[in-house]
């Protein structure tokens, strides 16, 4: 009991320190011109852009390996550079700060987007949905499902089935008016499906 309480207090202190030291609370515009990096993954039929400055992001990629689910293909995580630097200095285990991500899965059963969301709650987090599910959305011209998950953070989630793959876009945030919540919309709009090149 004491150990659980101590761990809970440590996590709370780290989250509080992170929130106080980072400017993610509100959308801030700088006079510095925006610059973007482009990611192209023709092996996954995917391309997107993300901002590198000002208030830019650091891209982290997790590739498929022997420990991942057989349908998992790749995870791209975008973390604000200030958050990334903060996490690099952490010696104790703590929760990751809010981030933007796209996880790609093989659509082994050739399911529609709606069917996949309902059939794979372990990946779609559909058991944690807060509010309505919009099953009539398009992303890059392809039918998608959109909803918000309520957990440690609020997570806007967009799921798209396209060809051989399922794409799960996530944008985690603490505050609705945060820069990361705004940037998730820009990220989702930048998504393109490109011809597969295996």
Determine the average pLDDT of the residues in 41-60.
Answer: 96
Is 161 a member of any domain? Answer: yes
Q: Please tell me the distance from the alpha carbon of residue 165 to that of residue 198, in angstroms, as a whole number.
A: 13
User: What is the tally of structural domains in the chain?
Assistant: 1
pLDDT of residue 31: 76
Is 66 a member of any domain? Answer: yes
pLDDT in tens, 147-174: 999 999 999 999 999 999 999 999 999 9
Is 116 a member of any domain? Answer: yes
Is 39 a member of any domain? Answer: yes
pLDDT in tens, 71-127: 999 999 999 999 888 888 777 777 889 999 999 999 999 999 999 999 999 999 999
Look at residue 17 and tell me whether its pLDDT is greater than 50: no
Sequence-ordered list of residues with C-beta below 8 angstroms from that of 160, at least 6 positions apart, any chain: 113, 139, 140, 142, 143, 144, 166, 167, 169
pTM of the model: 0.81
Of 61, 143, 149, 146, the C-alpha closest to 104 is 61
Instruction: State how far the alpha carbon of 149 is from the alpha carbons of 74, 82, 129, 145, 183, in Å.
Output: 21, 25, 4, 13, 17
Is 198 a member of any domain? Answer: no
Is 138 a member of any domain? Answer: yes
Which CATH number covers residue 180? 3.40.1000.10
Expressed as residue numbers, the domain containing 168 is: 2-193
End-to-end Cα distance, the chain = 52
Is 174 a member of any domain? Answer: yes
Is 133 a member of any domain? Answer: yes
């Amino acid at each position: 009991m004491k150990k659980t309480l101590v761990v809970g207090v440590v996590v709370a202190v780290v989250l509080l320190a992170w929130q106080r030291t980072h400017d993610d609370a509100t959308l801030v515009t700088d006079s510095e011109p925006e610059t973007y990096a482009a990611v192209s993954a023709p092996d996954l039929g995917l391309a997107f852009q993300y901002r590198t400055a000002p208030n830019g992001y650091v891209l982290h990629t997790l590739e498929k390996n022997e420990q991942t689910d057989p349908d998992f293909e790749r995870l791209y995580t975008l973390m604000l550079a200030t958050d990334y630097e903060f996490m690099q200095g952490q010696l104790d285990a703590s929760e990751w700060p809010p981030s933007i991500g796209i996880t790609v899965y093989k659509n082994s059963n050739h399911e529609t987007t709606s069917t996949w969301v309902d059939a794979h709650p372990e990946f779609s987090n559909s058991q944690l949905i807060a509010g309505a599910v919009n099953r009539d959305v398009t992303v890059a011209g392809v039918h998608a499902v959109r909803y918000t998950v309520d957990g440690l953070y609020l997570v806007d989630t967009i799921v798209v089935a396209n060809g051989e793959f399922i794409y799960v876009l996530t944008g985690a945030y603490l505050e609705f008016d945060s820069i990361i919540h705004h940037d998730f919309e820009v990220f989702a709009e930048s998504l393109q499906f490109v011809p597969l090149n295996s």
